[in-house]
Structures are given as C-alpha cells and as structure tokens.
C-alpha cells in the first residue's frame, strides 16, 4: 500500500518537515506536488520528480530530485520552490493568529503528469499546517498615543528580550516576522509607520521620535528585559533602523536586511536634526528582459558630495548585523553595507557583523518561504532578484543568525550566542 507521510503535520513555518513515500515498486518514478492557497485566493504550486529506491521508498531527507522545480537533495524544496499561478504575486501571511497556511501534498505516477497537470487521481495525499505563531503566544493591538502596531508576547512569565520589527515600502502592518520571533522567545512589536489606520498614507517626513516612543513603550513593559531593545528591519525600514541605532541609546542591537546607509525618499527629523534624503538618479533605473524595474543603481554613493547624506554610524553604541543578498535588484545593499562598515572601521569600531549571500535576492524572509523574485507593488513591476536554491539557503542560515545575534546582545549577562 502506497503511503505519503510528513512529520510533523502541524508546525511553525520555520520548522522543517520530514516527507516520505513508501509502498512504491522498486525504482518507480514519482512526482511530489505541493499547493497552497493564500488568504486572497491566490494559488502557489511546486513539484519535484524522484526515483524510489530498491525498497520502494522515497525519503526527501536523502533522495535527490531529478527534475521539476529544483534538483538535488533538498528536504524542504517543495515549500521554498512554490511559485504563484498568477505572475507577480507575493506570498504574504496576514492573519497570523487564527489560521495557518495549509499545504496540500500529493504523490503521482510521473508518467501520468502531462504539461505539469495530473492526468489521474494522486496515489496518496495529505494536508500540512504551517503556522506563524506558536501555542501560547499572545497578540496585543497597540494604539498608545500615536503608536500603531501589534505586540506579540511569548508564553510564560518572562522577562523576554524586546524587538521592534520594521518592514519597508508596502506600508501598513505586517506581523508574520514579529509573531515568529515571539514564538522563538522575543517580545516583538510589529510597528506600522505609514499607511495604517490613522497614520499618514504618504508622510512628508520620518519623525524618529515616533520610533523612540516605540522603544520606550517596549522597555516599559513588565515582561521585557532592559536596558536596551533590538530592531529587525528590511528595505525601507533599514534606513529607520540604522538611524535609531545612531540616535537612540535604547537601541542596542540592530538587524539590517538589504537596505541603505542613508535616508531616501523623504527627510528624517529628530530633535532639531534633519537628515536629508539622498538624491536618486532616475536615468539609472533599468528594466530586465521581462520588463521588470530594477532600481539598485539609482544611488551613486561614491560620487563627490555623497558623504553628507550618510548616517554617522560610528556614533551608534550598539551592535549591527548587516544581512545582504548579492542578487538584490532593488537596492545595492552589499555596497551600502560595506560603505557603512568602512565608516565603522575608520573610527576603530568592531561592533558589526556582515552576512553576505551570493544568489540571494532582496526579500530575505523566514526559512522555507518561497522566493519572490518579482511582484507588483504600488502599480510597479519590481524585480526583487534572487535565485531559488541559494536564496532558500540564505533564509535558513540568516534566521538562525538573527536570533543568535539578538539573544547575545539583548539578554543580560549573556556571554555566548545560543
């Protein structure tokens, strides 16, 4: 009897799953297919083809995919190789508390797959649950003063290291990373800063005092360790995270994922200081062979006069973790990180770590998330970049390093990384 098993059937999205098929004929060719429907009804699919061993078994932990959406030994390949049926669609979890993503796994005879469509019923199937929040994590809607966001607290009495989670140009409130961080033991504040509830849709300036209020709010919570908080930021959020590290003594550990070392778009203001945005060169916008916009060349930070726009990172008292995808087509994040590190070095600072991933794109997300190499954002077809397999490896490695870095610098008296 053919059986398809997966262990565990229900797990957090950053946890691996052990998938096996048994009861096949020796050396039988089969196709594994995965599908997922997001909260908007968009479908995502992946498939990989395998040959059973002499015992009629396929164990994805050891077996090599011979074709499909990836090749080689990749136990979680069916998850990170999921592709949208509708092009330019990004997989984003919105309701993290109440419903998991459900992944349908099906096993077919390879000979019955024609044009990626199954010609008959699957030999076996099952449904997996992929959660963004662990049991016992609580979510508290934040509307304190002008602060808007969601605070996620791990189960237990605490206290816990506190982290502010910042996303980029999408605006609104994205909670999936903060809920996962809380599932891993961090008190995590998913912080909105534009285009959410009564926050301005298109702010004219970035007021850093808003983010200072967020840091103080987190530190006042009885379940949060002091004396400092961490920041995890990506894309447009990086310019805010970096400025927080420079200006706010409360920020002692800052994760910067694919961003700039200067403000862009609009000015930043903080207690009388004004950081003007770096002027961009519109003539350096490029278009890929598929008509996707690439923006990574538009900031020429080596030109004469560019230094006046750069954040004085040497003034930061905390520690930095720079994470860059070398295949980023939106921001030249490696160059910007290396420039910031150069400033730190010239001032005798060694409070930084750089993780640079060849083949990884802009949207480095939690492990096993599908690569989104392009999507429609604000009516623009943006090329985020990245290659499927190296991007997946980068996400898995970076997630562990982010947690290790935050624990090392936020938990009192912690002398070595976990």
Give the span between the Cα atoms of 162 and 105, in whole angstroms: 37
Q: Is the dihedral of CA 345, 349, 350, 353 positive or negative?
A: negative
12-17-18 Cα angle (round to 5):
160
Give the span between the Cα atoms of 410 and 250, in whole angstroms: 11
Element (H, E) at 252: strand 251-257
As given in the structure block, the two tokens for residue 184 are 């891993």
* Catalytic site residue from 235, 319, 336, 391: 235
Q: Provide the phi-psi class of 305: left if phi over 0, else alpha when psi is between -120 and 50, else beta.
A: left
| Prior bond of 48 cis (ω within 30°) | no
299 Cβ contact partners less than 8 Å away, ≥ 6 residues apart: 260, 262, 264, 278, 280, 281, 332, 336
* Catalytic site residue from 14, 69, 165, 328: 328
Q: Which phi and psi angles does 191 have, rounded to 5°?
A: -110, 120
**Is 328 an annotated catalytic residue?**
yes
Longest dimension (CA), the chain: 74
- For the chain, the first-to-last Cα distance in angstroms comes to 44
Scanning the structure block, which residue is given the tokens 């699919």?
Answer: 45
Give the span between the Cα atoms of 394 and 87, in whole angstroms: 23
* Catalytic site residue from 74, 362, 383, 391: 362
Give the span between the Cα atoms of 279 and 265, in whole angstroms: 8
Q: Under a CB-based contact definition with an 8 Å cutoff, are residues 164 and 211 in contact?
A: yes
**Sheet strands (E) in 119-199:** 124-131, 138-144, 147-153, 162-166, 187-191
As given in the structure block, the two tokens for residue 257 are 């994922």
Residues marked as catalytic: 235, 328, 362
């Amino acid at each position: 009897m053919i059986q398809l098993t997966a262990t565990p059937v229900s797990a957090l999205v950053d946890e691996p799953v052990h998938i096996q098929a048994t009861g096949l004929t020796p050396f039988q060719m089969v196709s594994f297919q995965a599908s997922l429907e997001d909260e908007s009804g968009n479908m995502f699919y992946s498939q990989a083809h395998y040959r059973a061993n002499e015992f009629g078994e396929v164990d994805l932990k050891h077996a090599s995919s011979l074709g499909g959406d990836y090749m080689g030994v990749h136990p979680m390949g069916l998850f990170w190789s999921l592709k949208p049926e509708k092009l330019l669609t990004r997989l984003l979890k919105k309701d993290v508390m109440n419903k998991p993503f459900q992944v349908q796994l099906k096993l077919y005879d390879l000979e019955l797959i024609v044009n990626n469509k199954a010609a008959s019923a699957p030999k076996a199937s099952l449904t997996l649950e992929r959660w963004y929040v662990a049991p016992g994590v609580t979510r508290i809607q934040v509307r304190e003063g002008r602060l808007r966001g969601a605070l996620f607290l791990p189960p237990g009495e605490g206290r816990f290291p506190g982290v502010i989670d910042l996303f980029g140009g999408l605006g609104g409130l994205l909670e999936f990373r903060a809920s996962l961080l809380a599932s891993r033991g961090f008190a995590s504040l998913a912080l909105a800063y534009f285009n959410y509830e009564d926050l301005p849709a298109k702010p004219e300036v970035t007021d850093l005092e808003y983010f200072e209020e967020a840091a103080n709010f987190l530190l006042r919570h009885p379940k949060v360790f002091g004396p400092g908080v961490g920041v995890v930021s990506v894309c447009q959020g990086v310019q805010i995270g970096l400025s927080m590290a420079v200006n706010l003594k409360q920020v002692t550990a800052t994760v910067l994922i694919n961003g700039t070392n200067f403000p862009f778009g609009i000015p930043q203001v903080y207690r009388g200081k004004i950081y003007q945005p770096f002027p961009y060169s519109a003539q350096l916008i490029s278009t890929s062979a598929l008509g996707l916009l690439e923006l990574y060349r538009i900031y020429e930070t080596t030109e004469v006069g560019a230094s006046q726009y750069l954040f004085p990172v040497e003034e930061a008292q905390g520690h930095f973790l720079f994470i860059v995808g070398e295949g980023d087509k939106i921001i030249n994040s490696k160059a910007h990180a290396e420039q910031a590190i150069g400033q730190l070095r010239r001032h005798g600072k060694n409070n930084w770590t750089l993780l640079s991933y060849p083949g990884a794109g802009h949207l480095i997300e939690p492990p096993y998330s599908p690569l989104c190499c392009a999507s429609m954002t604000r009516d623009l077809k943006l090329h985020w970049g990245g290659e499927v397999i190296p991007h997946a490896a980068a996400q898995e490695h970076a997630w562990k390093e982010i947690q290790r870095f935050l624990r090392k610098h936020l938990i009192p008296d912690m002398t070595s990384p976990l």
